[in-house]
Amino acid sequence: MSKIHVMSETLANKIAAGEVVERCSSIVKELTENSIDAHATNIKINLKKGGLEAINVIDNGEGMDATDAHLAFQRHATSKIIHDDDLFFINTMGFRGEALPSIASVSEVELQTSDGPTSTYIHIKGGEILEEKSASLYRGTELTITNLFYNTPARLKYLKAENTELYNTLNLVEKLSLAHPQIKFSFTNNDKILLKTSGSGNLLKTIHEIYGLNVSNKMLEFKASNNDFDIYGYICKPEILKSNRNDISTFVNDRIVHNAEINRAINDAYYTYKPEGKYPVVILKINTDPTLVDVNIHPTKQDIKLSKMNDLYDLIYTTIKNCLYNNLLIPNALKEESVSIIKDSVIADIVNNMTKDEPPKVQTELDFKIAVDNSNNTPELKTSDEVIVNREMKSLTLYPVGLALGTYIIAQNDEGIYLIDQHAAQERINYEKYMKALRNKIFATTYLLIPITVELSASDYIYLKEHINILTDLGFVMEEFGINTYLVKAHPSWLLEGHEEESVHKIIDLILGGLTNFDPAKFNESIAITLACKMSIKANYNITHEEQEELLNELVLCDNPYNCPHGRPTIIKFSIYDLERMFKRVMN
């Protein structure tokens, strides 16, 4: 008797469901993407108990006739691709034909759909059709999923609590709304509206509808292209960083994707603008030829492979870096409740239109950009070697008037009062000095009258000897001396005077810390950051008025005067309006 046999269709679908249907959000994703592929302009997602009790998705898309409705529940039945070559030109969200049969095999499904002339109702449980008949429904499709994983108890056991499932699903719908701002989304749980977007097609307005005014008011628009990729979107100013990567939303041809290289490009562009462990709010839309994208890696279609990834990395990194450099990033100490009559009226229109079905009557593309600071500042793409001149900051004239708590310089000008963290400010100044020196290939060398002695353990001595060229390339003159000891006879002239020995030990410690996949540029940056921090004025140290003036004059000349190399802000502004509102001189 043969041991090998063909498994049943129902069993195959249950196995496929293990990859396609992981949790409630997986079902919402598959059903919503089907609605998008059906050219829906209005999609409603309704959950009961976070989706654990019921998931309902309604759209106004093309719908299906009776034959297609029946075929949709057969495995690998799809309207998206026909020929082998179609796999290389995928422009739809779905194409594998696995989602509906997989969902139906582990739950109870009710489908109502209409293509206009005909309407169909199908009731399926565990992959078996219980009822099929005509129905009355407007053009579009409605799917209701209940009894999820009723016949696979092992999977049912691993569903999370209601709030966890709700969070994951809502987060997914938020990202779908950002990917498709032209579609009106509505999301409810237990009949309570949690999200509603207008479908205006304005990405910035959708950001406002999801994140609120505090975030949308701090977003910077960017746009750039190369021969293969067009990128567009918004990044946040460093003052509203988050504690996780969840608000970095990336889309390739409007598909939600998770790609480590894309995230790395974004994170690297924010380097020195944010502390370690903090992440920006980013909405990045990438458009490219479908032949450069392979989405057929996993049934969820969120893991993708991109050709010419190095070119895309450079484009994202340079564009975001330039966008941050080219905008005035001094955070206001207070969040202004109203900036102008124009801003108030436009925001009010936006809020009102959230609860209406019709599109807003204001000219969204123009008016909303007026309402949100810096949204029309699309940076001109520059190469990474160009020096970015921030005219706004360099034009500031700051007059120091005192020092608070031995840490914060108080300065003023005609626009208001500024608080400057003296340590962070000098750290930025020193960092840029060191980086400028390290970028030079030829270093001026200072010979020491009394050499610096560096004693090491035997293992560290061997390791340093193997990598001694790093120090000599930086301009150090080293000589072996005795047992496990080096003499530093000369050092590069950019070391801070009076701190030469401490600087030498810091640089050697960086080398001994490990050099896996050694990158000279990143190593030089590590040197600059470490030395800048250690050699800067500390908090609770009183400096003179003249030293305050010198520090401010040097700060405004920096390429990036807004953050220390660790990403902390160097300067915060209290505008005259802020002060007058705090002291009730103005009451609006």
**210 is a domain residue:** yes
CATH number of the domain enclosing 419: 3.30.1540.20
Could you tell me if 338 and 401 lie in one domain? no
Determine the average pLDDT of the residues in 326-343.
55
Could you tell me if 529 and 544 lie in one domain? no
**339 is a domain residue:** yes
Tell me: the pLDDT tens digits for 129-146?
898 888 877 899 999 999
Could you tell me if 383 and 417 lie in one domain? no
Task: State what percent of residues in the chain have pLDDT above 90.
Answer: 26
**587 is a domain residue:** no
Tokens of 585: 């001189």
Determine the average pLDDT of the residues in 58-80.
78
User: Is pTM beyond 0.85 here?
Assistant: no
Could you tell me if 512 and 563 lie in one domain? no
Is residue 15 predicted with pLDDT exceeding 60? no
Q: Which of 64, 58, 17 is nearest to 35 (CA)?
A: 58
Highest mean pLDDT among 180-184, 290-294, 356-360: 180-184
Quick one: pLDDT band at residue 335, thresholds 50, 70, 90? low
Could you tell me if 26 and 131 lie in one domain? yes
With a CB cutoff of 8 Å and minimum separation 6, the contacts of 220 are: 234, 235, 236, 237, 323, 324, 327, 374, 375, 377
Q: Where among 196, 228, 259 does a domain terminate? A: 196
Could you tell me if 214 and 320 lie in one domain? yes
Could you tell me if 208 and 67 lie in one domain? no
- Among 30-39, 150-159, 384-393, 554-563, the least confident range: 384-393
CATH number of the domain enclosing 332: 3.30.230.10
CATH number of the domain enclosing 123: 3.30.565.10
Find tokens 């930025």 and name the residue. Answer: 428
Instruction: Please provide the average confidence, as pLDDT, over all residues in the chain.
Output: 79
Is residue 171 predicted with pLDDT exceeding 50? yes
Distance in angstroms (rounded) separating the CA atoms of residues 365 and 391 = 27
**3 is a domain residue:** no
H/E element holding 421?
strand 416-421
Cα separation of the two ends of the chain = 87
Determine the average pLDDT of the residues in 471-486.
87
Domain hosting 203: range is: 199-388
**436 is a domain residue:** no
Count how many domains the chain has.
4
* Residues 194/171, Cβ–Cβ less than 8 Å: no
Could you tell me if 477 and 356 lie in one domain? no
**224 is a domain residue:** yes
Could you tell me if 58 and 73 lie in one domain? yes
Tell me: the pLDDT tens digits for 345-403?
433 443 444 344 443 333 333 344 434 444 444 334 343 333 444 555 666 788 899 99
pLDDT, position 408: 92
pLDDT, position 90: 53
Coil, strand or helix at 466: helix
Is residue 315 predicted with pLDDT exceeding 90? yes
